[in-house]
Structure 1
Amino acid sequence: MMTLSPSSESTTHLGHYGLIAGVFDELEISDLIDNLLPKKSSHNIPHSTVIKAMCINGLGFTERRLYLFPDFFENLPTERLLGEGVLPEHLNDDVFGRTLDKIYEFGATELFNHIILQAMKHVPINPRFCHADTTNFSVYGDYDHDNDGKTINITYGHPKDKRVDLLRFTISMVTDQKGIPLFVRALDGNSSDKKALIKTIKELTQNLNLDERVYHVADSAFYTEDNVKEIGTNAFFISRVPATINEAKELLMANLILKTCSDERYSCYAVKSCYGGVEQLWGVFCSEEMKKKEEKTFDEKILKELEAAEKSLKKLSNREFACEADARMAAEQWLKENESYEFTKLDIKNRSHRLENKKGRPRKDEKVQTFYLIEAQIKHDQEKVKERRAKLGRFILATNDLELTPDQLLEYYKEQGTVERGFRFLKDKSFRVSEVYLKKESRIEALAMVMVLCLLLYSIAEWKLRTRLEEAKEAIRNQVKKKTQTPTMKWVFFLFRRVTELVIEVDGKRIKKVLNLDEETIKVLKLMGEKYEKYYV
């Protein structure tokens, strides 16, 4: 019978983790963090190594949900990735907690500001567009309140995932036109987008020495009279105008002659505005795609509006008026406020009841109080409905750069998707820290910075590989086996899924070897450069 004995060979999963370590090294983040967050002599490993480990953990991209879990490192070649002598047992809850505390103590946003300035020395990050936005993240379980008065307030807020039952915190982030994050700040779970976005833009401008022609791009939450006044004369902005502003309401419903844009899916009418006391170019755009989407739900929306209007009218019908003229005036005022409708029936009925709220029928000679009630029925004014239907798909964009053309205004605003893609990345269930289980507000604030640092590493690696593929006139296969020069880094990580480190013990010596590199992964490593290749030799 065959007996089992301990093997002198072992393997650990290297996968794509060397690519993450490589971009971390290329940006020289470790040296920067060691200077800013020096370790105490009693600690085994420096904070820079722990943060590097967190990024490898965060960009693990496996299906199992994780939250900086030490077991993650048990089957990884930690010495290869993090340095000689760094073993899985060194990466425990206490180590992660100490580093998160140190990040918070230094200032999470301030640390990221230093990192992005460091990155700009090594990568040509030249922001022309700064896309600002906010989103919120759910927090699971109980947590400890910090008592220093400076931490974010984790509370019930305005959930974008509809989970009103969960506590949450907010992240305000700015990315450049390539999707590379330039700024991050964690905020209270119920923070106001209107206030957060203007503060974010001001902080970003102070931190980075931005070119004069940089455009700050934000959605309609930014566009308030106060924000326009504050930024309007100091920096260029591009934003969507809320349809709730009276001037915008009138334009959206006006009979305008829209001209076809360079992108033929859109048409536009340009007009000057001085909203907030700042001279601006407004573009009233119509999107054919948006119009088709809105047409699908328009009839349903009209019916819901009618139901709401009938409820409002019923409330008015229960109101008692002292005279017929007052009742008729109230009915006319209601119609003025609800101009999409017309009366199909309008009667003013007089009624009476006993004084002092006595019950029963009044006696023959008893004085009674006479009052008047509105009896009305309504329907939609079909001409107005027809007008509204014709104007579906419209929206307004604004800029204080009067030299922009409407085509440029539209093109630049559409790139707002870069920051939204960044948030989708952070919320992806395969992103290892997309759901937060930490129990201290200060550590959650620090973790928010680490999350966006992961996005920074990912987006720079993706940008670099795409650039190198184009320069070398090379391509790699995509998910459907076709050649591409614009792979996602998530797909590239998948290509490395079988790569392992083999350790063999021979005569008391440990020999390490990387297995399962193929032609495609070797091509990626050569294009990325020596700082990446070293993790796979």
Structure 2
Amino acid sequence: MDQLLRLGLQASWFNDDALGRHLDRLYAADIHQVYSAFQLHVYQHERIPMRVFHGDTTSMSVYGAYTKPSKALQIVEGYSRDRRGAKQIQFGLIGNADGIPLYGDVHDGNTSDKTWNPDVLEKLHAQCATVKLDDFVYVADSAAMSKSTLDAAKSANAYLLTRAPNQLKIVKAALASADAPDAAWSEKVSFVSSKAGAAYRWLAAEAEHEGHALRLIVVDSSALDKKKENTLTRERETECDRLKQVVKEAAQTPFHCQADAEQAAEAFRAEQLPRFHQVDVTVRPQE
């Protein structure tokens, strides 16, 4: 950096070749490590809080064939956030609760967050160890709910805060306990002064997943209750209109005998399976 930022430099020296050589030197020195070390000094100098960190990735799609493999970076197809079916690279970033970066990287286009999270947790732990930070909180999305990330969090002495996917058995069990009549919900709390603001309550449950003891928090929002109520009302009205139409069409269909009509009625009951309404079918002879 002293070669790039010092007195006496001339603009003509900053040509493509010179900048290219410096970029090569930065890559050889591990640019991700250089950047994170620089940011760590910024954190210390400005006394920026280093207790809670948020990690996430995003992708950038590119145009072109990119058929020649590269050892530095694989530009390939992967899970895309902007343009599916295109080759891409990915960016990862870790920052504190105020969004100030501490670590950033560029990685292969097909790297999964389930691979990236445990890898950066190890690097984050090494950074924190240099400033004698024994533990920290790592916040990430549901991709962090994996054995490798849980193992990495334990090794880093970090507290992992993430969203557990609904398909997990422990989540289904926690949601079922929250629906119980005697569920131990907290008192409702609002974080805004407005009366129209949402109120929240939560329920804690203990569980074990992939060999790790976890604490699950089920959160209920009054705003979501109202939204869900409106959604259910629309779905109920839509179902009612659909049933009226199919019932009208079925009632106008003649049958040659009662046996055929009974068979059609049974098939009608099996096909409809309404969520909000009950369907009764009666077969009557025409006069």
Same fold (TM over 0.5): yes
Q: In the alignment, is the contact (CA less than 8 A) between 2:53 and 2:96 conserved in 1?
A: yes
Q: In the alignment, is the contact (CA less than 8 A) between 2:128 and 2:134 conserved in 1?
A: no
Deviations along 1:68-97, one digit per CA (max 9) or x if unpaired, are xxxxxxxxxxxxxx744422x444433333
Change in CA separation of 1:102 and 1:377 when aligned onto 2, cut-off 3 Å: same
Q: 1:86 aligns with which of 10, 18, 23?
A: 10
Instruction: Give secondary structure in 2 for the equivalent of 1:159.
Output: coil
Aligned to 1:271: 205
**CA–CA distance in 2 between the matches of 1:118 and 1:272?**
39
Matched to 2:10, the amino acid is V
Task: Count matched residues.
Answer: 237
Larger Rg: 1
Q: Are 2:64 and 1:166 aligned?
A: no
**CA–CA distance in 1 between the matches of 2:74 and 2:225?**
40
Q: RMSD of the alignment, in Å? A: 3.3
**CA–CA distance in 2 between the matches of 1:167 and 1:220?**
24
**CA–CA distance in 2 between the matches of 1:159 and 1:296?**
32
Q: In the alignment, is the contact (CA less than 8 A) between 2:206 and 2:215 conserved in 1?
A: yes
Q: Are 2:218 and 1:218 aligned?
A: no
Q: CA deviation at 1:108?
A: 1.5
Change in CA separation of 1:281 and 1:135 when aligned onto 2, cut-off 3 Å: same
Q: CA deviation at 1:263?
A: 3.4
Higher relative CO (Cα under 8 Å, sequence separation at least 6) belongs to: 1
Q: CA deviation at 1:297?
A: 5.4
Q: Are 2:127 and 1:190 aligned?
A: no
Q: 2:18 aligns with which of 95, 98, 101?
A: 95
Aligned to 1:379: 273
Question: Share of identical aligned residues, percent?
Answer: 25
Aligned to 1:282: 216
Q: CA deviation at 1:262?
A: 3.6
**CA–CA distance in 1 between the matches of 2:22 and 2:65?**
21
Change in CA separation of 1:207 and 1:158 when aligned onto 2, cut-off 3 Å: same
Q: In the alignment, is the contact (CA less than 8 A) between 2:201 and 2:220 conserved in 1?
A: yes
Instruction: Give secondary structure in 2 for the equivalent of 1:179.
Output: coil
Q: CA deviation at 1:121?
A: 4.2
Instruction: Give secondary structure in 2 for the equivalent of 1:259.
Output: coil
Aligned to 1:157: 78
**CA–CA distance in 2 between the matches of 1:382 and 1:277?**
41
Q: In the alignment, is the contact (CA less than 8 A) between 1:268 and 1:284 conserved in 2?
A: yes
Superposed, 1:41-440 pairs within 5 Å as 46=3, 48-49=4-5, 83-87=7-11, 89-141=12-64, 145=68, 147=70, 149=71, 151-161=72-82, 163-209=83-129, 211-232=133-154, 234-254=157-177, 255-256=179-180, 257=183, 258-263=185-190, 265-293=199-227, 345=266, 376-382=270-276
**CA–CA distance in 2 between the matches of 1:378 and 1:229?**
48
Change in CA separation of 1:126 and 1:86 when aligned onto 2, cut-off 3 Å: same
Superposed, 1:505-520 pairs within 5 Å as none
Instruction: Give secondary structure in 1 for the equivalent of 2:166.
Output: coil
Q: In the alignment, is the contact (CA less than 8 A) between 2:202 and 2:220 conserved in 1?
A: yes
TM-score normalised per structure 1: 0.39
